[in-house]
Amino acid sequence: MGDVYKDDSTFNFVRDQVASATATFVMMFSSSLSVVEFYFLGRFPIPFAGYLIFVSILAGFWGQCLVRKIVQVLKRASLIVFILSSVIFASALTMGVVGTQTSISMINNHEYMGFLNFCE
């Protein structure tokens, strides 16, 4: 217990693997709903979606094998949580940068930035 810092604000009964699996499931569920929404709006081509599914499955299996080996070597399951939080941070940072660049480009080109008409 001396090498793990936990205070009263954390759940002491939840293991790192369970927390990581729950966060991964929530992210997968959320992104799946977004894909369904884009499909219904006609903004997501099926061949591109198939390619992304294939790449994500390969990356998921490869990442799981790699992280499992690293955890076995270092004997630190908390590494899973650090990797997960790093990926979430990098994703948020990337989305912020790309979104800002896109918005600046649209403003400079005087493009319409509002919502599309969903009633058509």
Could you report the per-residue pLDDT of 77-103, keeping only the tens digit for each? 788 888 888 988 999 999 999 999 999
C-alpha to C-alpha distance for 55 and 51, rounded to whole angstroms: 6
How many other C-beta atoms are found inside a 10 Å radius of the C-beta of residue 111? 10
SS3 letters across 54-80: HHHHHHHHHHHHHHHHHHHHHCCCHHH
pLDDT in tens, 16-74: 677 777 877 887 888 788 878 888 887 778 888 788 889 988 988 898 889 889 888 98
Residue 12: DSSP 8-state: T
Domain ranges of the chain: 16-108
Which pLDDT does position 120 carry in this prediction? 60
